Structure 1
Amino acid sequence: MLRIGEFSRLARVSVKALRLYDRLGLLKPARTDAFSGYRYYSGEQLPRLNAILALKDLGFSLGQVGRLLNEGLSRAQIRAMLELRRGEAERALKAEQERLARVEARLRRMDGEGGVPGSHEVVLKAMGPQRVASVRETLPAYSEVGRLFGELRAYAERHGVRPSAWVSVWHDEEYRDEDADGEAAFVADGPLPDDGRVRESLLPAVEHMAATVHHGPFDTIGVAYAALLAWIEGNGYRVAGPHREVYLSGGEQGNPDYVTEIQVPVEKAEGRERPA
C-alpha cells in the first residue's frame, strides 16, 4: 500500500486532485486508516486513474467521467458521448479558427496588406423597390440564415425560377446574440407564387443607401461593417432601417473570393449638414 503522497508522486497527479477524485467517487483509496484518516492506494488502481486522466484529456467533465466509469454504460452510449464530445471540440475549433482569421485580417489591415487604404469605399445611392421571394424567421444565430436560403433554393427549383440576386435583411435595431429577426430573399423576374413559408414580398425603396463591397470570407466582414459605420457617423448620417447583405459571387461563404455588398439605409442626423 502507498500513502497518498507516495501514490501522487509515482502517478504524477497532485494530492489535491486525488482528494477531489475521492470526494466525487471517481477513485476511492484502497484503504483509509480509521484512526489517522490517512489514505492508502494500491498500484492496481493506476489503470483507473489513467482512464480518468485520458477522459479528462478528451475534454469530458468530471461528472461525465464518472458516468463513463461508474454507470456501466453500453458501447452505444459510450460512443454517443464520444461523438457528442467530438462535435463540441469541432465547434470550439471552428470558433478559434474564425477568431484567428479575424486576427490575421486585422494584422493585414495594420500592415497595409490585403488592400490599400480605402479598400472599403462607401457610396451613397438610391435604391428602387425590389420584388422578391422571401422567408423570414426569428433565428437562434445569424449563421442560421443559410437554412432559410436552403428553403429558397428548393422553392426556386420547384417553380423554375432563376434568381438574379440573393439578399439577407436584418430587421433588429441592435445586434442580438440570439433570436435575430432575419429574412432571406432573392430577386427574380416573373411569377413568384406563395409556397409554404416562402412569400412574394417587396423590399422597399430607399432614398439614401450607404453601401460598401467586401471581398473575402464572412469571418472578416466585420472590417467592412466598421468602415461603413465610421463613414455614416463621420458624414453626419444615422441608420434609418434594416440593413441588407447582397451576395454577389463566391459560392461558399468561407471562400476568400466571396463578394458581399453591405447596404444600410441612412438619413441625416439632426444638427449636421450634408457634406458637399
Structure 2
Amino acid sequence: MPDRARLALLASDTERAQAAAAAIAATGTWVPLAEADAVVVIGGDGFMLQTLHHMLDDGPLIPAYGLNHGTVGFLMNRARSSRDIVDRVAKAKAVAVAPLAMTATTRSGVEQRFCAINEVSLLRETRQTAKLEVSVDGKVRIPELACDGVLVATPAGSTAYNLSANGPILPLGSAMLALTPISPFRPRRWRGAILPDSSRIGFRVLEPDKRPVSVVADQKELRDIAEVSIAIALDQRLTLLFDRGHSLDDRIVTEQFQV
C-alpha cells in the first residue's frame, strides 16, 4: 500500500473493539469507506467477514487490514500499539481471496445468488438424512450421497467449518476447493474430494418432500432448496492485508500442526 493511502476505519460494536477504535482514530485522518483506498477492520473474524460481504454487495472492493480484538482472529493481525497502524498498513503484504458464487433454486422455483468467503454448506432440515446427487463440471460423480450435509470450502475457509467436518486444510496458493461431506452414511468410504478451483460443483436434492435441505453461504441461509451450483467468483476477488512474517499462509501451515 502507498504511504499516503486514504484509510477507512470500521469496528465491531463490542466494548473491546470500540475502545481500540477510539485510540486508533486519534492517530490519523480517516475517510468514509466509499472514499478509501483500504480499510482497517477492528474486531474478530465474524466482523471481518461481515465487512467483506458488505464490500461484495455494495463495494468498493478495497484491501482490508484486520486487527484482532475478537476471539480466534484467523483473518486478522495481532493487536499491538495503535500508534503505528498507518505504517503497518503501508508495509502489509497483500493476499488475494476469491469467494464462492452460489446459485440456489428453491422447490418453488425461486433463484437466489449469494457469495461465500469461507464455505457453502447444504444441511438437512429435519431428522431425516439428506440425499443429494453430486456433480462436478456437469458430470454426476455421486448419484446418491446420504448424509447430514455437505460443504464446499475455499482455502481461506478450509480451517473453519470444513476442518471441523474432518475436511482438508488447503494452502492459500493451492487453487483448490475442498468438497467435504458432513456425517456421511453412504457411500461409506467417501470422505470428500479436493478439486481445482476452476470446477463447477452441483447438487440436486433427492426426495425433497421427505428430506428437505437448506443451503448456507457463510451467514446467509435459503431453505427448501432443489438445486445448488457453486463456482469461484473470479470477478469479485478480495484482498486481505497481513503484517509481513505473519500471513494467512503461515497460519494455515501452523494450523496443520496443532495437537
TM class by smaller structure: under 0.3
Which structure dedicates a bigger proportion of its chain to strand? 2
Normalising by structure 1, we get a TM-score of 0.24
Bigger radius of gyration: 1
Normalising by structure 2, we get a TM-score of 0.25
Using CA pairs below 8 Å that are at least 6 residues apart, which structure has the higher relative contact order?
Answer: 2
Which structure dedicates a bigger proportion of its chain to helix? 1
